[in-house]
Amino acid sequence: MSLFHRDTPEETAFRTEVRTWLEANVPAETLHELDVTNPEVSREWHRKLWQRGWIAPHWPREFGGMGATLEQQVILMEELARVGGPYVQPSGLNFLGFAIMEFGTEEQKRDLLPDILSGDTTWCQGYSEPEAGSDLASLRTRAVEDGDDFVVNGQKIWSSGAPHCDRMFALVRTEPDPKARHAGISMLLIDLATPGITVTPIQTLTGHVHFSIVTFIDVRVPKTSILGKLHGGWKVANHVLTFERLSGSSPRHDLIAIDTLRRLSEATGRVSDPAFRDRMASAGIDVVAHMAMHRRAVERVKAGQSLGFMASVMKIAGANALHNVTDLLLDAAGSDAASSFKHTDNGQELDPLGLFLLSRRATIWGGSAEIQRNIIAERILGFPRSWR
Ligand SMILES: Cc1cc2nc3c(=O)[nH]c(=O)nc-3n(C[C@H](O)[C@H](O)[C@H](O)COP(=O)(O)OP(=O)(O)OC[C@H]3O[C@@H](n4cnc5c(N)ncnc54)[C@H](O)[C@@H]3O)c2cc1C
């Protein structure tokens, strides 16, 4: 049974099937992997889920997905959160795939979507640059037409998963002096093995190689690799960002954090403090509220409706809910929290500090919390731009 819904007999059977399969197949050493620790294990897990038919419950059947009901999607998410599993690179499956379905040519759909599903090709996102993050339209990586190719020069940063990925969907400037700043940008699908590309990994506080700097020097990219129209990349970029905010706000991490909090606070005895239990309850209520909002957002997307500014609200609500729980995790871990990464509970490792550090990212990726608040203030609440 999920928090919002009593499983029907068919859903109970599906949940049991998923749970049994996951318990038998999740590699024990990667329980609740929060980031890529071993790219090969990650790819292998992706393949295994694909072979089982569960890698893309959210994709329509016509593109090879499971075409799952909302309840089946929730069941898979909840069971994965319960059991864990290796990290799966999300960019192709959860953001780019939908943009290819929407903007891709028939050839792109035929050639690219099956490999995203099978995990044969993994994708990373090339938006941010050293001088262009929140103000993405100021990006300077340029692509100049030359015969059948574009020649790309520039630099991307914070590209999640790039050291482990095969390709990048990158925003590049194709028109140097456009009338409007958001015009003159295109989306290119780039093979990272192309000569002239250097990927320099960046290690995070949790010790993972999550990000990288990707440098392009005279990189030739075929013109057929453009996604959407020439100079029409901003529209594609925003489509991707909506799906990124939807996917990144999934309550999966909240559920892992809540479960870790429950076990850790019992193990350390912190749960016996009534004031602490009050805070746990309050944090739990925020998670439930966030889950309800996320569920509604998924319903809207499934019905073909735009998320609009709801994506910004959901991203902030999701980050707040996750922060509340992970703050309590550090409290429950006590003085050990900062000095020791892992706590053992019945032979299982709990990682309060890892979850805490991971949760702090939530206010930055996919557009920072300040930028989302600006969007809400101006476009939902109608504040004038001059209030900033
Ligand atoms: C976990 C994670 C994964 C990421 N993955 C990717 C990826 O795969 N690909 C990719 O391209 N990028 C990725 N990013 C980068 C991310 O998109 C940028 O970090 C983000 O857009 C902010 O840009 P910036 O870091 O340049 O900060 P800046 O834009 O320099 O902002 C610095 C600070 O100023 C604030 N600020 C800026 N402008 C305003 C304003 N107008 N009003 C109020 N406050 C403002 C910001 O909120 C922020 O706090 C990732 C980031 C994280 C944390």
Question: How many other C-beta atoms are found inside a 10 Å radius of the C-beta of residue 363?
Answer: 17
Look up the pTM and report it.
Answer: 0.93
Separation between Cα atoms, residue 356 and residue 167, nearest integer Å: 30
Answer whether 159 contacts ligand 1 (Cβ < 6 A).
yes
- For the record, the structure tokens of 41 come out as 């294990």
Q: What is the DSSP letter of 378?
A: I
User: Which of 158, 169, 371, 375 maximizes ligand 1 atoms within 8 Å of its Cβ, making it the mutation to test the pocket?
Assistant: 158
Q: Say yes or no: CB of residue 127 within 6 Å of ligand 1.
A: yes
Tens of pLDDT along 2-39?
666 688 899 999 999 999 999 999 887 766 677 777 88
Write the single-letter amino acid at 153.
N
**d(Cα 265, Cα 71) in Å, to the nearest integer?**
31
Beta bridge partners, 126, equal 170
Q: Please give the pLDDT value at position 63.
A: 95
| Ligand 1 atom 7, closest CA | 159
Q: Does 364 sit in the ligand 1 pocket, CB within 6 Å?
A: yes
pLDDT at residue 4 in the model: 64
Catalytic residues: 244
Bridge partners (DSSP) listed for residue 172: 186
- At 309 the pLDDT is 86
CA of 110 to the centre of ligand 1 (A): 33
What pLDDT score was predicted for residue 340? 66
What are the structural domains, with CATH classification, of the chain?
9-88 (no CATH), 123-232 (2.40.110.10), 249-387 (1.20.140.10)
Distance CA 316, CA 300 (A): 18
What φ, ψ does residue 185 adopt, rounded to 5°? -115, 140
DSSP H helical segments within 104-213, as ranges? 106-118
**Which of 93, 172, 365 gets mutated to test ligand 1 (max ligand atoms within 8 A of its CB)?**
365
What's the rounded Cα separation, in Å, for the pair 223 and 237? 18
Residue of the CA atom closest to atom 30 of ligand 1? 133
The segments of the chain whose pLDDT lies below 50 read: none
Question: From the CB of 359, is ligand 1 less than 6 Å away?
Answer: no
Per-residue pLDDT, 85? 82
Of 375, 379, 365, 333, the C-alpha closest to 352 is 333
Summarize pLDDT for 80-104 with one digit per residue, the tens: 888 878 888 999 999 999 999 999 9
- Please tell me the predicted confidence (pLDDT) of residue 39: 87
Q: 171 C-alpha to center of ligand 1: Å?
A: 15
- Pocket residue to mutate for ligand 1, from 238, 368, 375, most atoms within 8 A of Cβ: 368
Question: How close is the Cα of 3 to the center of ligand 1, in Å?
Answer: 33
CA of 255 to the centre of ligand 1 (A): 25
Whether 45 lines ligand 1, by a CB cut-off of 6 Å, is no
155: left (phi over 0), alpha (psi -120 to 50) or beta: beta
